[in-house]
Structure 1
Protein backbone atom coordinates (compact mmCIF):
# COMPACT_ATOMS: atom_id res chain seq x y z
CA UNK A 1 0.00 0.00 0.00
CA UNK A 2 1.39 3.40 -0.94
CA UNK A 3 2.22 5.83 1.84
CA UNK A 4 -0.22 8.51 0.71
CA UNK A 5 -3.09 5.98 0.52
CA UNK A 6 -2.30 4.72 3.99
CA UNK A 7 -2.33 8.26 5.39
CA UNK A 8 -5.81 8.93 4.08
CA UNK A 9 -7.13 5.60 5.33
CA UNK A 10 -5.79 6.34 8.82
CA UNK A 11 -7.31 9.81 8.63
CA UNK A 12 -10.75 8.42 7.68
CA UNK A 13 -10.74 5.82 10.48
CA UNK A 14 -9.70 8.38 13.07
CA UNK A 15 -12.41 10.78 11.88
CA UNK A 16 -15.16 8.22 12.51
CA UNK A 17 -13.72 6.96 15.80
CA UNK A 18 -12.95 10.35 17.34
CA UNK A 19 -16.09 11.91 15.86
CA UNK A 20 -18.08 9.41 17.89
CA UNK A 21 -16.08 10.00 21.08
CA UNK A 22 -17.90 13.20 22.03
CA UNK A 23 -21.31 11.55 22.26
CA UNK A 24 -19.74 8.67 24.19
CA UNK A 25 -18.33 11.15 26.71
CA UNK A 26 -21.77 12.74 27.02
CA UNK A 27 -23.44 9.38 27.67
CA UNK A 28 -20.73 8.26 30.12
CA UNK A 29 -21.19 11.46 32.15
CA UNK A 30 -24.75 10.39 33.01
CA UNK A 31 -23.44 7.95 35.61
CA UNK A 32 -19.91 9.26 36.19
CA UNK A 33 -18.35 12.51 37.39
CA UNK A 34 -15.75 14.22 35.14
CA UNK A 35 -12.93 13.10 37.45
CA UNK A 36 -14.14 9.50 37.39
CA UNK A 37 -14.56 9.56 33.62
CA UNK A 38 -11.11 10.98 32.96
CA UNK A 39 -9.40 8.56 35.34
CA UNK A 40 -11.26 5.45 34.16
CA UNK A 41 -10.79 6.39 30.51
CA UNK A 42 -7.04 6.51 31.09
CA UNK A 43 -7.03 3.27 33.10
CA UNK A 44 -9.14 1.22 30.67
CA UNK A 45 -7.00 2.33 27.75
CA UNK A 46 -3.78 1.72 29.71
CA UNK A 47 -4.74 -1.86 30.58
CA UNK A 48 -5.62 -2.60 26.96
CA UNK A 49 -2.47 -1.01 25.53
CA UNK A 50 -0.10 -2.58 28.03
CA UNK A 51 -1.56 -6.00 27.21
CA UNK A 52 -0.82 -5.58 23.50
CA UNK A 53 2.27 -3.37 23.74
CA UNK A 54 4.12 -4.14 26.97
CA UNK A 55 7.02 -5.81 25.14
CA UNK A 56 7.52 -2.64 23.10
CA UNK A 57 8.46 -0.66 26.21
CA UNK A 58 11.98 -2.11 26.18
CA UNK A 59 12.59 -0.53 22.77
CA UNK A 60 12.25 2.97 24.25
CA UNK A 61 15.64 4.54 25.00
CA UNK A 62 16.30 6.19 28.35
CA UNK A 63 16.60 9.66 26.81
CA UNK A 64 13.22 9.24 25.11
CA UNK A 65 11.25 8.54 28.28
CA UNK A 66 11.14 12.23 29.17
CA UNK A 67 9.33 13.03 25.95
CA UNK A 68 7.10 9.96 26.28
CA UNK A 69 6.00 11.19 29.72
CA UNK A 70 5.33 14.74 28.56
CA UNK A 71 3.47 13.40 25.54
CA UNK A 72 1.37 11.12 27.74
CA UNK A 73 0.18 13.96 29.96
CA UNK A 74 -0.37 16.51 27.18
CA UNK A 75 -1.77 14.16 24.56
CA UNK A 76 -3.99 11.97 26.74
CA UNK A 77 -4.24 12.50 30.48
CA UNK A 78 -4.99 16.23 30.74
CA UNK A 79 -7.35 16.41 27.71
CA UNK A 80 -9.40 13.48 29.06
CA UNK A 81 -10.38 15.60 32.07
CA UNK A 82 -10.74 18.85 30.12
CA UNK A 83 -13.27 17.29 27.72
CA UNK A 84 -15.16 15.61 30.56
CA UNK A 85 -15.57 18.85 32.50
CA UNK A 86 -16.39 20.83 29.35
CA UNK A 87 -19.20 18.49 28.31
CA UNK A 88 -20.95 18.95 31.62
CA UNK A 89 -21.86 22.43 30.35
CA UNK A 90 -21.68 22.45 26.53
CA UNK A 91 -23.07 20.13 23.85
CA UNK A 92 -20.94 17.36 22.38
CA UNK A 93 -21.28 18.85 18.87
CA UNK A 94 -19.94 22.23 20.02
CA UNK A 95 -17.01 20.51 21.75
CA UNK A 96 -16.12 18.69 18.54
CA UNK A 97 -16.13 21.88 16.46
CA UNK A 98 -13.95 23.75 18.94
CA UNK A 99 -11.59 20.78 18.93
CA UNK A 100 -11.03 21.50 15.22
CA UNK A 101 -8.81 24.40 16.24
CA UNK A 102 -6.05 21.85 16.93
CA UNK A 103 -4.24 22.41 13.57
CA UNK A 104 -4.26 26.15 14.26
CA UNK A 105 -2.81 25.60 17.71
CA UNK A 106 -0.30 23.19 16.18
CA UNK A 107 0.89 25.91 13.81
CA UNK A 108 1.13 28.50 16.58
CA UNK A 109 2.97 26.19 18.97
CA UNK A 110 5.25 25.01 16.17
CA UNK A 111 6.26 28.60 15.52
CA UNK A 112 6.56 29.71 19.14
CA UNK A 113 8.08 26.67 20.79
CA UNK A 114 9.63 24.58 18.01
CA UNK A 115 11.01 27.29 15.69
CA UNK A 116 8.86 26.16 12.76
CA UNK A 117 8.16 29.09 10.41
CA UNK A 118 4.79 30.00 8.92
CA UNK A 119 3.57 32.04 5.95
CA UNK A 120 1.21 35.00 5.67
CA UNK A 121 -1.63 32.71 4.53
CA UNK A 122 -1.10 30.54 7.57
CA UNK A 123 -1.16 33.58 9.86
CA UNK A 124 -4.45 34.68 8.26
CA UNK A 125 -5.77 31.16 8.82
CA UNK A 126 -4.93 31.37 12.52
CA UNK A 127 -6.76 34.68 12.86
CA UNK A 128 -9.80 33.44 10.92
CA UNK A 129 -9.94 30.19 12.89
CA UNK A 130 -9.78 31.95 16.25
CA UNK A 131 -12.45 34.40 15.08
CA UNK A 132 -14.67 31.46 14.17
CA UNK A 133 -14.11 29.98 17.63
CA UNK A 134 -15.22 33.24 19.24
CA UNK A 135 -18.33 33.38 17.03
CA UNK A 136 -19.21 29.78 17.86
CA UNK A 137 -18.89 30.35 21.60
CA UNK A 138 -20.89 33.58 21.40
CA UNK A 139 -23.66 32.08 19.27
CA UNK A 140 -23.81 29.02 21.49
CA UNK A 141 -24.54 31.18 24.52
CA UNK A 142 -27.47 32.67 22.59
CA UNK A 143 -28.91 29.33 21.44
CA UNK A 144 -28.42 27.56 24.78
CA UNK A 145 -28.41 30.30 27.46
CA UNK A 146 -28.55 27.74 30.28
CA UNK A 147 -25.16 26.35 29.30
CA UNK A 148 -21.98 27.90 30.70
CA UNK A 149 -19.87 28.68 27.65
CA UNK A 150 -16.85 29.62 29.71
CA UNK A 151 -16.33 25.85 29.70
CA UNK A 152 -15.61 26.09 25.97
CA UNK A 153 -12.22 27.43 27.01
CA UNK A 154 -11.40 23.97 28.35
CA UNK A 155 -11.72 22.57 24.82
CA UNK A 156 -9.33 25.24 23.52
CA UNK A 157 -6.89 24.30 26.29
CA UNK A 158 -7.15 20.67 25.19
CA UNK A 159 -6.39 21.76 21.62
CA UNK A 160 -3.22 23.44 22.86
CA UNK A 161 -2.25 20.21 24.66
CA UNK A 162 -2.81 18.21 21.47
CA UNK A 163 -0.80 20.74 19.47
CA UNK A 164 2.15 20.40 21.84
CA UNK A 165 1.86 16.63 21.67
CA UNK A 166 2.01 16.29 17.88
CA UNK A 167 5.02 18.60 17.70
CA UNK A 168 6.79 16.61 20.42
CA UNK A 169 6.15 13.30 18.65
CA UNK A 170 7.36 14.66 15.33
CA UNK A 171 10.44 16.35 16.76
CA UNK A 172 11.60 13.95 19.48
CA UNK A 173 9.95 10.54 18.94
CA UNK A 174 10.09 10.11 15.19
CA UNK A 175 12.14 6.92 15.41
CA UNK A 176 10.06 5.22 18.12
CA UNK A 177 7.33 2.82 16.97
CA UNK A 178 3.76 4.08 17.34
CA UNK A 179 2.77 1.20 19.64
CA UNK A 180 5.83 1.80 21.84
CA UNK A 181 4.97 5.50 22.13
CA UNK A 182 1.36 4.77 23.04
CA UNK A 183 2.15 1.98 25.52
CA UNK A 184 4.83 4.20 27.06
CA UNK A 185 2.44 7.13 27.38
CA UNK A 186 -0.13 5.07 29.25
CA UNK A 187 2.43 3.34 31.46
CA UNK A 188 3.37 6.81 32.71
CA UNK A 189 -0.15 8.06 33.41
CA UNK A 190 -1.58 4.88 34.97
CA UNK A 191 -0.49 5.74 38.54
CA UNK A 192 -1.82 9.34 38.42
CA UNK A 193 -5.09 7.98 37.00
CA UNK A 194 -5.43 5.52 39.91
CA UNK A 195 -4.80 8.32 42.43
CA UNK A 196 -7.44 10.54 40.81
CA UNK A 197 -9.94 7.67 40.74
CA UNK A 198 -9.41 6.90 44.44
CA UNK A 199 -9.95 10.57 45.33
CA UNK A 200 -13.12 10.81 43.20
CA UNK A 201 -15.39 8.72 45.48
CA UNK A 202 -15.82 6.13 42.73
CA UNK A 203 -15.61 3.30 45.26
CA UNK A 204 -18.26 4.75 47.54
CA UNK A 205 -21.44 2.76 48.12
CA UNK A 206 -23.60 5.44 46.51
CA UNK A 207 -21.61 5.33 43.27
CA UNK A 208 -21.32 1.56 42.99
CA UNK A 209 -25.04 1.03 43.62
CA UNK A 210 -26.16 3.65 41.11
CA UNK A 211 -28.33 2.24 38.28
CA UNK A 212 -26.74 4.71 35.86
CA UNK A 213 -23.18 3.57 36.59
CA UNK A 214 -22.95 0.39 34.55
CA UNK A 215 -24.42 1.72 31.25
CA UNK A 216 -21.98 4.63 31.61
CA UNK A 217 -19.10 2.21 32.12
CA UNK A 218 -20.14 0.42 28.91
CA UNK A 219 -19.95 3.66 26.92
CA UNK A 220 -16.65 4.48 28.60
CA UNK A 221 -15.16 1.08 27.79
CA UNK A 222 -15.88 1.61 24.09
CA UNK A 223 -14.45 5.13 24.32
CA UNK A 224 -11.31 3.95 26.12
CA UNK A 225 -10.36 0.87 24.11
CA UNK A 226 -11.31 2.08 20.63
CA UNK A 227 -11.49 5.86 20.93
CA UNK A 228 -8.38 6.24 23.09
CA UNK A 229 -6.30 3.06 22.88
CA UNK A 230 -6.44 1.91 19.25
CA UNK A 231 -6.96 5.43 17.93
CA UNK A 232 -3.81 6.67 19.70
CA UNK A 233 -1.72 4.00 17.98
CA UNK A 234 -3.15 5.02 14.61
CA UNK A 235 -2.66 8.70 15.33
CA UNK A 236 0.95 8.32 16.43
CA UNK A 237 1.60 6.36 13.22
CA UNK A 238 -0.09 9.11 11.21
CA UNK A 239 2.09 11.81 12.79
CA UNK A 240 5.23 9.85 11.93
CA UNK A 241 4.27 9.13 8.31
CA UNK A 242 3.03 12.66 7.58
CA UNK A 243 3.39 16.09 9.23
CA UNK A 244 1.98 17.46 12.51
CA UNK A 245 -0.43 19.75 10.66
CA UNK A 246 -1.67 16.97 8.34
CA UNK A 247 -2.19 14.62 11.28
CA UNK A 248 -4.06 17.23 13.29
CA UNK A 249 -6.29 17.96 10.26
CA UNK A 250 -8.33 14.93 11.31
CA UNK A 251 -10.29 17.60 13.18
CA UNK A 252 -11.71 18.73 9.81
CA UNK A 253 -13.97 15.69 9.59
CA UNK A 254 -14.47 14.88 13.26
CA UNK A 255 -17.15 17.62 13.64
CA UNK A 256 -19.20 16.14 10.78
CA UNK A 257 -19.53 12.81 12.60
CA UNK A 258 -20.03 14.50 15.97
CA UNK A 259 -22.70 16.86 14.62
CA UNK A 260 -24.65 13.91 13.23
CA UNK A 261 -24.54 12.17 16.62
CA UNK A 262 -25.51 15.41 18.38
CA UNK A 263 -28.52 16.03 16.16
CA UNK A 264 -29.67 12.42 16.60
CA UNK A 265 -29.40 12.93 20.36
CA UNK A 266 -31.57 16.06 20.26
CA UNK A 267 -28.88 18.75 20.56
CA UNK A 268 -29.68 22.20 19.16
CA UNK A 269 -27.39 23.61 16.48
CA UNK A 270 -28.36 26.87 14.73
CA UNK A 271 -27.50 28.06 11.21
CA UNK A 272 -25.28 30.76 12.68
CA UNK A 273 -23.38 28.12 14.65
CA UNK A 274 -22.98 26.20 11.41
CA UNK A 275 -21.59 29.37 9.82
CA UNK A 276 -19.16 29.83 12.73
CA UNK A 277 -18.06 26.21 12.37
CA UNK A 278 -17.44 26.82 8.65
CA UNK A 279 -15.32 29.88 9.53
CA UNK A 280 -13.17 27.74 11.81
CA UNK A 281 -12.65 25.13 9.11
CA UNK A 282 -11.76 27.83 6.55
CA UNK A 283 -9.19 29.08 9.03
CA UNK A 284 -7.78 25.58 9.42
CA UNK A 285 -7.63 25.20 5.63
CA UNK A 286 -5.77 28.49 5.26
CA UNK A 287 -3.39 27.56 8.07
CA UNK A 288 -2.27 24.52 6.05
CA UNK A 289 -1.45 26.54 2.92
CA UNK A 290 2.10 27.65 2.22
Structure 2
Protein backbone atom coordinates (compact mmCIF):
# COMPACT_ATOMS: atom_id res chain seq x y z
CA UNK A 1 0.00 0.00 0.00
CA UNK A 2 1.47 3.36 -1.01
CA UNK A 3 1.59 6.43 1.25
CA UNK A 4 -1.39 8.09 -0.46
CA UNK A 5 -3.63 5.09 0.27
CA UNK A 6 -2.22 4.72 3.79
CA UNK A 7 -2.91 8.31 4.73
CA UNK A 8 -6.61 8.02 3.86
CA UNK A 9 -6.87 4.69 5.71
CA UNK A 10 -5.19 6.16 8.80
CA UNK A 11 -7.44 9.23 8.57
CA UNK A 12 -10.55 7.02 8.64
CA UNK A 13 -9.30 4.85 11.53
CA UNK A 14 -8.30 7.87 13.58
CA UNK A 15 -11.64 9.53 12.92
CA UNK A 16 -13.46 6.49 14.32
CA UNK A 17 -11.14 6.20 17.34
CA UNK A 18 -10.97 9.87 18.28
CA UNK A 19 -14.61 10.48 17.39
CA UNK A 20 -15.48 7.88 20.02
CA UNK A 21 -13.08 9.36 22.59
CA UNK A 22 -15.41 12.19 23.55
CA UNK A 23 -18.24 9.92 24.67
CA UNK A 24 -15.68 7.87 26.62
CA UNK A 25 -14.53 11.03 28.39
CA UNK A 26 -18.15 11.86 29.21
CA UNK A 27 -18.77 8.39 30.65
CA UNK A 28 -15.49 8.42 32.60
CA UNK A 29 -16.53 11.67 34.30
CA UNK A 30 -19.53 9.93 35.89
CA UNK A 31 -17.28 8.52 38.61
CA UNK A 32 -14.13 10.65 38.34
CA UNK A 33 -13.20 14.32 38.54
CA UNK A 34 -11.64 16.00 35.45
CA UNK A 35 -8.22 16.04 37.11
CA UNK A 36 -8.42 12.38 38.09
CA UNK A 37 -9.45 11.50 34.56
CA UNK A 38 -6.67 13.53 32.93
CA UNK A 39 -4.02 12.07 35.24
CA UNK A 40 -5.25 8.47 34.95
CA UNK A 41 -5.50 8.72 31.17
CA UNK A 42 -1.88 9.88 31.00
CA UNK A 43 -0.58 7.25 33.42
CA UNK A 44 -2.41 4.29 31.85
CA UNK A 45 -1.42 5.36 28.34
CA UNK A 46 2.18 5.65 29.48
CA UNK A 47 2.13 2.10 30.85
CA UNK A 48 0.78 0.77 27.53
CA UNK A 49 3.42 2.63 25.52
CA UNK A 50 6.30 1.69 27.83
CA UNK A 51 5.35 -1.98 27.46
CA UNK A 52 5.94 -1.89 23.70
CA UNK A 53 8.08 1.15 23.03
CA UNK A 54 10.88 1.54 25.59
CA UNK A 55 13.49 0.03 23.27
CA UNK A 56 12.50 2.51 20.55
CA UNK A 57 13.70 5.43 22.71
CA UNK A 58 17.30 4.63 21.74
CA UNK A 59 16.60 5.99 18.26
CA UNK A 60 15.84 9.49 19.60
CA UNK A 61 18.86 11.79 19.31
CA UNK A 62 19.84 14.03 22.21
CA UNK A 63 19.02 17.14 20.15
CA UNK A 64 15.52 15.79 19.42
CA UNK A 65 14.53 15.13 23.02
CA UNK A 66 13.56 18.74 23.75
CA UNK A 67 11.02 18.63 20.93
CA UNK A 68 9.72 15.25 22.11
CA UNK A 69 9.15 16.75 25.58
CA UNK A 70 7.41 19.86 24.20
CA UNK A 71 5.30 17.62 21.95
CA UNK A 72 4.28 15.53 24.96
CA UNK A 73 2.96 18.49 26.93
CA UNK A 74 1.27 20.24 23.99
CA UNK A 75 -0.15 17.17 22.27
CA UNK A 76 -1.09 14.98 25.23
CA UNK A 77 -0.66 16.18 28.80
CA UNK A 78 -2.40 19.56 28.96
CA UNK A 79 -5.25 18.73 26.51
CA UNK A 80 -6.10 15.59 28.51
CA UNK A 81 -7.11 17.82 31.42
CA UNK A 82 -8.64 20.64 29.37
CA UNK A 83 -11.00 18.35 27.47
CA UNK A 84 -12.11 16.65 30.68
CA UNK A 85 -12.85 20.04 32.28
CA UNK A 86 -14.75 21.19 29.18
CA UNK A 87 -17.00 18.14 29.14
CA UNK A 88 -18.25 18.87 32.63
CA UNK A 89 -20.35 21.62 31.00
CA UNK A 90 -20.50 20.88 27.25
CA UNK A 91 -21.86 17.82 25.41
CA UNK A 92 -19.34 15.34 24.05
CA UNK A 93 -20.45 15.97 20.45
CA UNK A 94 -20.10 19.75 20.78
CA UNK A 95 -16.61 19.31 22.24
CA UNK A 96 -15.65 17.25 19.21
CA UNK A 97 -17.06 19.92 16.90
CA UNK A 98 -15.04 22.65 18.59
CA UNK A 99 -11.98 20.47 18.13
CA UNK A 100 -12.40 20.99 14.38
CA UNK A 101 -10.58 24.30 14.75
CA UNK A 102 -7.29 22.38 14.70
CA UNK A 103 -6.73 22.40 10.89
CA UNK A 104 -7.28 26.15 10.68
CA UNK A 105 -4.80 26.71 13.51
CA UNK A 106 -2.37 24.24 11.91
CA UNK A 107 -2.30 26.26 8.69
CA UNK A 108 -2.01 29.64 10.39
CA UNK A 109 0.63 28.58 12.94
CA UNK A 110 2.50 26.52 10.35
CA UNK A 111 2.80 29.59 8.14
CA UNK A 112 3.48 32.14 10.90
CA UNK A 113 5.92 30.17 13.07
CA UNK A 114 7.25 27.22 11.11
CA UNK A 115 7.32 28.84 7.65
CA UNK A 116 5.31 25.96 6.15
CA UNK A 117 3.52 27.10 3.01
CA UNK A 118 -0.06 26.36 1.97
CA UNK A 119 -2.08 26.66 -1.21
CA UNK A 120 -5.16 28.79 -1.81
CA UNK A 121 -7.19 25.60 -2.21
CA UNK A 122 -6.03 24.33 1.19
CA UNK A 123 -6.94 27.62 2.81
CA UNK A 124 -10.34 27.65 1.09
CA UNK A 125 -10.99 24.09 2.23
CA UNK A 126 -10.17 24.92 5.83
CA UNK A 127 -12.38 28.03 5.73
CA UNK A 128 -15.30 26.00 4.35
CA UNK A 129 -14.74 23.40 7.04
CA UNK A 130 -14.65 26.15 9.65
CA UNK A 131 -17.96 27.54 8.36
CA UNK A 132 -19.54 24.10 8.70
CA UNK A 133 -18.13 23.83 12.22
CA UNK A 134 -19.53 27.26 13.11
CA UNK A 135 -23.00 26.19 12.00
CA UNK A 136 -22.74 23.10 14.15
CA UNK A 137 -21.69 25.17 17.16
CA UNK A 138 -24.47 27.74 16.74
CA UNK A 139 -27.07 25.02 16.36
CA UNK A 140 -25.71 23.24 19.41
CA UNK A 141 -26.02 26.43 21.43
CA UNK A 142 -29.64 26.88 20.31
CA UNK A 143 -30.58 23.30 21.10
CA UNK A 144 -28.73 23.25 24.46
CA UNK A 145 -29.20 26.72 26.05
CA UNK A 146 -28.45 25.35 29.52
CA UNK A 147 -24.82 24.56 28.66
CA UNK A 148 -22.02 26.93 29.70
CA UNK A 149 -20.17 27.78 26.49
CA UNK A 150 -17.44 29.64 28.37
CA UNK A 151 -15.98 26.18 28.86
CA UNK A 152 -15.49 26.05 25.10
CA UNK A 153 -12.39 28.15 25.77
CA UNK A 154 -10.66 25.08 27.21
CA UNK A 155 -11.21 23.22 23.94
CA UNK A 156 -10.06 26.17 21.84
CA UNK A 157 -6.82 26.39 23.83
CA UNK A 158 -6.32 22.67 23.20
CA UNK A 159 -6.79 23.12 19.46
CA UNK A 160 -3.98 25.67 19.40
CA UNK A 161 -1.74 23.22 21.28
CA UNK A 162 -2.61 20.39 18.88
CA UNK A 163 -1.85 22.62 15.92
CA UNK A 164 1.54 23.53 17.38
CA UNK A 165 2.21 19.85 18.04
CA UNK A 166 1.57 18.66 14.48
CA UNK A 167 3.86 21.35 13.13
CA UNK A 168 6.58 20.46 15.65
CA UNK A 169 6.40 16.80 14.60
CA UNK A 170 6.58 17.72 10.92
CA UNK A 171 9.35 20.30 11.35
CA UNK A 172 11.59 18.78 14.02
CA UNK A 173 10.67 15.09 14.42
CA UNK A 174 10.09 14.05 10.82
CA UNK A 175 12.75 11.34 10.95
CA UNK A 176 11.87 9.95 14.39
CA UNK A 177 9.78 6.77 14.48
CA UNK A 178 6.15 7.39 15.50
CA UNK A 179 6.34 4.85 18.36
CA UNK A 180 9.50 6.56 19.64
CA UNK A 181 7.79 9.95 19.65
CA UNK A 182 4.71 8.65 21.46
CA UNK A 183 6.73 6.74 24.06
CA UNK A 184 9.10 9.66 24.55
CA UNK A 185 6.13 11.98 25.08
CA UNK A 186 4.98 9.89 28.03
CA UNK A 187 8.44 9.55 29.53
CA UNK A 188 8.23 13.32 29.93
CA UNK A 189 4.67 13.62 31.23
CA UNK A 190 3.92 10.52 33.31
CA UNK A 191 5.63 11.82 36.48
CA UNK A 192 3.69 15.12 36.49
CA UNK A 193 0.50 13.08 35.97
CA UNK A 194 1.28 10.88 38.99
CA UNK A 195 1.92 13.97 41.13
CA UNK A 196 -1.42 15.50 40.09
CA UNK A 197 -3.28 12.24 40.78
CA UNK A 198 -1.85 12.13 44.33
CA UNK A 199 -3.39 15.55 45.01
CA UNK A 200 -6.89 14.69 43.71
CA UNK A 201 -8.06 12.43 46.57
CA UNK A 202 -8.25 9.57 44.08
CA UNK A 203 -7.14 7.07 46.71
CA UNK A 204 -9.79 8.15 49.21
CA UNK A 205 -12.66 5.91 50.33
CA UNK A 206 -15.24 8.30 48.90
CA UNK A 207 -13.77 7.91 45.39
CA UNK A 208 -13.78 4.12 45.51
CA UNK A 209 -17.30 4.08 46.99
CA UNK A 210 -18.80 6.06 44.09
CA UNK A 211 -21.38 3.86 42.29
CA UNK A 212 -19.92 4.68 38.87
CA UNK A 213 -16.27 4.32 39.87
CA UNK A 214 -15.63 0.84 38.43
CA UNK A 215 -17.22 1.56 35.05
CA UNK A 216 -15.41 4.88 34.87
CA UNK A 217 -12.11 3.03 35.25
CA UNK A 218 -13.13 0.67 32.44
CA UNK A 219 -13.91 3.64 30.19
CA UNK A 220 -10.58 5.30 31.04
CA UNK A 221 -8.65 2.13 30.18
CA UNK A 222 -10.41 1.87 26.79
CA UNK A 223 -9.84 5.58 26.20
CA UNK A 224 -6.17 5.31 27.13
CA UNK A 225 -5.38 2.30 24.95
CA UNK A 226 -7.34 3.11 21.81
CA UNK A 227 -7.98 6.84 22.04
CA UNK A 228 -4.48 7.79 23.20
CA UNK A 229 -1.75 5.11 22.97
CA UNK A 230 -2.71 3.49 19.64
CA UNK A 231 -4.05 6.73 18.16
CA UNK A 232 -0.87 8.65 19.04
CA UNK A 233 1.28 6.22 17.04
CA UNK A 234 -1.13 6.27 14.09
CA UNK A 235 -1.36 10.06 14.17
CA UNK A 236 2.42 10.58 14.30
CA UNK A 237 2.71 8.24 11.31
CA UNK A 238 0.01 10.16 9.47
CA UNK A 239 1.81 13.48 10.01
CA UNK A 240 5.02 12.02 8.60
CA UNK A 241 3.49 10.48 5.45
CA UNK A 242 1.23 13.45 4.69
CA UNK A 243 1.14 17.09 5.86
CA UNK A 244 0.15 18.82 9.13
CA UNK A 245 -3.01 20.12 7.42
CA UNK A 246 -4.05 16.68 6.16
CA UNK A 247 -3.34 15.07 9.55
CA UNK A 248 -5.32 17.79 11.33
CA UNK A 249 -8.25 17.16 8.99
CA UNK A 250 -9.11 14.14 11.12
CA UNK A 251 -10.89 16.66 13.34
CA UNK A 252 -13.34 17.36 10.50
CA UNK A 253 -14.49 13.75 10.40
CA UNK A 254 -14.53 13.19 14.15
CA UNK A 255 -17.71 15.26 14.76
CA UNK A 256 -19.70 12.89 12.53
CA UNK A 257 -18.68 9.96 14.73
CA UNK A 258 -19.08 11.96 17.94
CA UNK A 259 -22.54 13.21 16.96
CA UNK A 260 -23.63 9.63 16.29
CA UNK A 261 -22.49 8.55 19.76
CA UNK A 262 -24.11 11.64 21.26
CA UNK A 263 -27.44 10.82 19.63
CA UNK A 264 -27.30 7.29 21.01
CA UNK A 265 -26.57 8.75 24.45
CA UNK A 266 -29.51 11.15 24.36
CA UNK A 267 -27.74 14.31 23.23
CA UNK A 268 -29.77 16.53 20.91
CA UNK A 269 -28.85 17.78 17.43
CA UNK A 270 -30.95 18.84 14.48
CA UNK A 271 -31.09 18.38 10.67
CA UNK A 272 -29.08 21.56 10.04
CA UNK A 273 -26.17 20.02 11.92
CA UNK A 274 -26.19 17.11 9.48
CA UNK A 275 -25.97 19.61 6.62
CA UNK A 276 -23.10 21.31 8.42
CA UNK A 277 -21.29 17.96 8.68
CA UNK A 278 -21.50 17.59 4.88
CA UNK A 279 -20.02 21.09 4.52
CA UNK A 280 -17.16 20.03 6.78
CA UNK A 281 -16.44 16.97 4.63
CA UNK A 282 -16.38 19.23 1.56
CA UNK A 283 -13.79 21.33 3.30
CA UNK A 284 -11.65 18.25 3.95
CA UNK A 285 -11.83 17.32 0.27
CA UNK A 286 -10.84 20.77 -0.96
CA UNK A 287 -8.04 21.17 1.59
CA UNK A 288 -6.41 17.94 0.44
CA UNK A 289 -7.27 17.80 -3.27
CA UNK A 290 -4.18 17.86 -5.44
CA UNK A 291 -3.94 19.94 -8.58
CA UNK A 292 -4.55 18.07 -11.80
Q: Say whether the fold is shared (TM-score over 0.5).
A: yes
Counterparts of 1:181-192 in structure 2, within 5 Å, are 181-192=181-192
The reply to whether residue 59 of structure 1 matches residue 59 of structure 2 is yes
Cα distance change on mapping 1:254 and 1:135 into 2, 3 Å: closer
Q: Report the Cα distance in structure 2 between the residues aligned to 1:19 and 1:54, rounded to whole angstroms.
A: 28
Q: Is the 8 A contact 2:139 2:272 kept in 1?
A: yes
Work out whether residues 130 and 280 of structure 2, in 8 Å CA contact, stay in contact via their aligned partners in 1: yes
SS in 2 for 1:211: coil
Shift of 1:125: 4.2
**Size of the alignment, in residue pairs?**
290
Q: Distance in 2 between matches of 1:168 and 1:261?
A: 32
Aligned residue for 2:147, secondary structure, equals: coil
Deviates most, 271-280 or 231-240: 271-280
Distance 1:124 1:5, change over 3 A: closer
Q: Secondary structure at the match of 1:201?
A: coil
TM value normalised by structure 2: 0.92
Give the Cα–Cα distance (whole angstroms) in 1 for the partners of residues 58 and 113 of structure 2.
30
Verify the 8 A CA contact 1:101 1:284 in the aligned structure 2: no
Q: Does 1:202 align with 2:199?
A: no
Within 5 Å, which residues of 2 pair with 1:223-242? Answer: 223-242=223-242
- Counterpart of 1:150 in structure 2 is 150
Say if 2:139 and 2:269, in contact at 8 Å, map to a contact too. Answer: no
What displacement does 1:81 show? Answer: 1.1
Q: Is the 8 A contact 2:256 2:277 kept in 1?
A: no
CA contact under 8 A between 1:100 and 1:281: conserved in structure 2?
no
Contact conserved, 1:97 with 1:277, CA < 8 A, in 2? no
Structure-1 separation of matches of 2:40 and 2:17: 19
List per-residue Cα deviations over 1:209-251 (Å, max 9, x = no partner). 2121110000010000111001111111111111111212222
Deviates more, 1:175-184 or 1:90-99: 90-99
CA distance in 2, matches of 1:14, 1:59: 25
Are 1:4 and 2:4 matched, yes or no? yes
Partner of 1:245: 245
5+ residue gaps, structure 1, are: none
* Structure 2 Cα separation of the partners of residues 104 and 92 of structure 1: 21
- CA 1:238 to 1:124, structure 2 compared with 1: closer, same or farther past 3 Å? closer
Structure 2 alignment gaps of length 5 or more:
none
Q: CA distance change for structure 1 residues 281 and 100 in 2, over 3 Å: closer, same or farther?
A: farther
Point out 4+ residue stretches in structure 1 off by more than 6 angstroms. none
Counterpart position of 2:179: 179
Q: Superposition RMSD on alpha carbons, in Å? A: 1.9
**SS of structure 2 residue aligned to 1:183:** helix
Which residue matches 1:92? 92
Equivalences for residues 7-156 of structure 1 within 5 A: 7-156=7-156
Change (3 A) 1:131 1:254: closer
Which 10-residue stretch deviates more, 251-260 or 210-219?
A: 251-260
Question: 2:253·2:281 contact (CA, 8 Å) conserved in 1?
Answer: no
1:26/1:92 contact within 8 Å kept:
yes
The answer to whether the Cα contact below 8 Å between 2:104 and 2:127 also exists between their aligned partners in 1 is no
Q: TM-score, normalised by structure 1?
A: 0.93
CA distance in 1, matches of 2:4, 2:140: 38
TM-fit CA distance, 1:33: 0.8
Judged with a 3 Å threshold, the aligned counterparts in structure 2 of structure 1 residues 272 and 32 are, in CA distance, closer, same or farther, namely: same
Q: Within 2, Cα distance between the matches of 1:89 and 1:171?
A: 36
Secondary structure, counterpart of 1:88 in structure 2? coil
CA contact (8 A) 1:35 1:196 kept: yes
Deviations 1:32-66 (A, max 9, x none): 11111111000000011011111111221111010
